[in-house]
Amino acid sequence: MAITTIHPVRRTVSAAIRYIINGNKTGDHSLVQSFMCEGKPDRAAEQFREVRQRVGTGRSTTLAQHLIQSFLPCEVTPEQAMMIGEELCHRLLGEQYQFVIATHIDHDHIHNHIVFNNTNMISGYTFETEHNQGKKSERAWTEIQKLSDDICRENGLSVIEQPKSKGVSHYEYEARKSGISWKEHLRQILKAIIVQSTSLDDFFRRCTEHNIECVYKPENKVKLKYRPQGKERFVRADTLGEEYTPEAITESIMRMQNALAVAQRFTRHKELETSVITAEPKPTTAPINTEGVRADDHIGSGAENSKLVPVTDAPEKEEKADGWASIRGMRICDDIIADMESVGIHSLAEYNALSVTGWTKREELGKKLGKLKSQILAIDELIAKINHLKELSDTYKEYKGLTGFKQSRFRKKNAAAIDDYEQTNSYIWEHIEPFKQDDKAPTVKQLTDRSNDMKLRFNAMAQEYNHLLEVEAVMGKYSREIRKHITGQQNRCAAEQSRERRQGRNRRNSELE
C-alpha cells in the first residue's frame, strides 16, 4: 500500500531536487534516477527552465511539482520502491515531462520523492491544465492515487479498498486499519488505563506512568489534550474521540466502579448462601483402606509417604484459573480464544498488557530493522564496488603504464572505463573507513562474512517483527467485540445496582407506611 501526495514548487526547483537526492537519505545517491535531465540539482533546474522558456506559455507561476509516494514499513525494498515510483512517473507523465526521482530509506517507511517539470516538453501545456481540471474525481491527486494503487496491486502490495471516513486523512485511515497509527495506539493505551483507573486523578497519574503527558484545563475550550513520548505536538481529546474527553472518562470510571461494587456484593451474597448449605460428602472413587486413608495416598516412597493422612485432611487440588473467564459468554468466544492462543496470547490479562506495550515493542524493532538494513546495503554496495574495481584494474594499469601522447590517446579511447575506475576507487576509500581494523582495510571475504552475520540477525529480528504484526492483526480483529462484551457486562452490573437501589427505596417506603 502506498499513500501519495502532491504539491507545487513555486520558488526554487534546485533546492527541492537537492533535498530529495540527499546522500544520507538515498544510500549515497544510489537510489536516484532522472528522465530527460541530469540528476544534479542546478543542471536539472536549468534544463527545466529551458523547456519552460522554449515551449511554455510563461503564464504559470508554478515551476515544478513535488510528488511523494509513501509505503508501509517493511512492505517494499528500496529497489522495488524505486521501480514502482518510475512506473508511476511513466504512466502519469507519459514520458512528456522531465523528472528526478529519489527513494528515501532514512525512515521506517520507505518513500519516493519525485520532482517533475510543470511544463510538458511536447505540448507546452502545464501539468495543471492537463491533469487538474474538471470534477474532484478527475483531479490530479485522485488520478495519482488510482495509478499508484493499480501498480501496487500488480506488484502484490496492499491497497485501500474502501473510502476513508470523513475527517480522517488517507494515511491515518490506512494506518489505523493496519494497526500502525500512533493515534490508534494512543487510543488503545488510554482504553486500558481507563479500565484500571479509580478516578480522573488516578487516570492522569497512570498516563504519566505510561509516558503520556496530559494537559487538563477545565476552564478552557479545549479541556484535555494528550502527548505521547516522542511526539512534538499534543492531540486534543475530542480529536481522538468523545470517549477520551474528561467527562466521558469520569463517567466510564464511575460506571465501572459501580459495576465492580455490585459484582463484589453479588459474589459475597453467593458465598454467604453457599456457606449455610450443608451437603453430604461425595463418595470417593478410590478404594479406602481400613486405616481411614485413600489407598492411592501410598503411591511413592520415603518418610513423607509413609505417614498416614486422614481423608478429611487431604488438601484439595487447586483448579487453574480461567484466563478467559471474562469473555466466556461471548457468541464467538471459542474463535477468539483459539486465534489468540495460536499467536501466544493465553489470557485476557496478556491481551490487555500487549495492547499497551506490544505496539511500542514492534515500533522499536522496526527501527532496528531499518538501521540494520541500511548497514547491510552499505556493506553490499561496498563489496560490489570493490569487485567492479577489480574488473577495471587491467585497463587502468595499462593506462598508468603509458606516458605522454600514448597515455592521452589511450584515455580518449577508454575514457568511460578510466573515469569509472577513478570514481569507484574514490567511493571505496571514502566508505571503507568505518570498517577498518588497526588502520587496515578489510578484505572482500571479511566484508562478506560481516554482511552474512548481519543478514542472519536481520532475518531473526524480521521473524519476531512479523510475529508481532500477526499478534496485532489478531488483536485488532477482535478488539471491538471484546470491548463491546466487557462494556455490556458493565452495563448489566450497573442495571443490577440500579435495581437494588430501587428495591431498597421500595422496602424503606413500605416500612414507613
Give pLDDT tens digits for 222-255. Answer: 889 999 888 888 899 888 888 889 988 988 888 7
Whether pLDDT at 301 is above 70: no
| Number of residues that this document lists for the chain | 513
Whether pLDDT at 129 is above 60: yes
pLDDT at 358: 65
Q: Compute the 3-state secondary structure of the chain and give helix, strand, coil in percent, each to the nearest 5.
A: 60, 10, 30
Whether pLDDT at 197 is above 80: yes
Strand order in the sheet with 212-216: 212-216, 224-228, 235-236
Helix 348-401 vs helix 404-413: crossing angle, to nearest 10: 140
Block residue for cell numbers 521473524: 463
Whether pLDDT at 333 is above 90: no
Average pLDDT over residues 484-506: 76
User: What's the mean per-residue pLDDT of the chain?
Assistant: 79
Under the banding of pLDDT at 50, 70 and 90, the label for residue 338 is confident
Task: Give every CB contact of residue 346 below 8 A, 6+ residues apart in sequence.
Answer: 323, 340
Instruction: Round to whole Å and give the CA distance between 336 and 338.
Output: 6
Instruction: Report angle CA 10, 11, 15 to the nearest 5 degrees.
Output: 115
Q: How far is CA 12 from the centre of its chain?
A: 34
Instruction: Round to whole Å and give the CA distance between 192 and 187.
Output: 9
Helix 140-154 vs helix 78-93: crossing angle, to nearest 10: 130
State the cell numbers at 501. 437501589
Longest CA–CA separation in the chain, Å: 127
Torsion of CA 376, 381, 386, 392, to 10 degrees: 160
Instruction: Report angle CA 80, 81, 85 to the nearest 5 degrees.
Output: 120
Tell me if the pTM is above 0.85.
Answer: no
Whether pLDDT at 30 is above 70: yes
pLDDT at 101: 95
337 or 174, which is more confident?
337
Which residues share a beta bridge with 69? 4, 112
pLDDT at 348: 79
State the cell numbers at 5. 501526495
Q: What percent of the chain has pLDDT over 90?
A: 21
* CA gyration radius, the chain: 34
Instruction: Round to whole Å and give the CA distance between 221 and 58.
Output: 49
Contacts of 121-127 with CB under 8 Å at 24 or more apart are: 121/36, 121/51, 121/55, 121/96, 121/97, 122/55, 122/96, 123/55, 123/96, 124/55, 124/56, 124/57, 126/56, 126/57, 126/60, 126/62, 127/62, 127/65, 127/97
Contact between 141 and 132 under an 8 Å Cβ cutoff? The reply is no
Contact between 234 and 215 under an 8 Å Cβ cutoff? The reply is yes
Instruction: Round to whole Å and give the CA distance between 363 and 476.
Output: 16
pLDDT at 383: 93
Torsion of CA 194, 181, 371, 384, to 10 degrees: 160
Task: Give every CB contact of residue 132 below 8 A, 6+ residues apart in sequence.
Answer: 139, 140
Whether pLDDT at 262 is above 60: no
Residue 155, H or E segment:
none
pLDDT at 319: 53
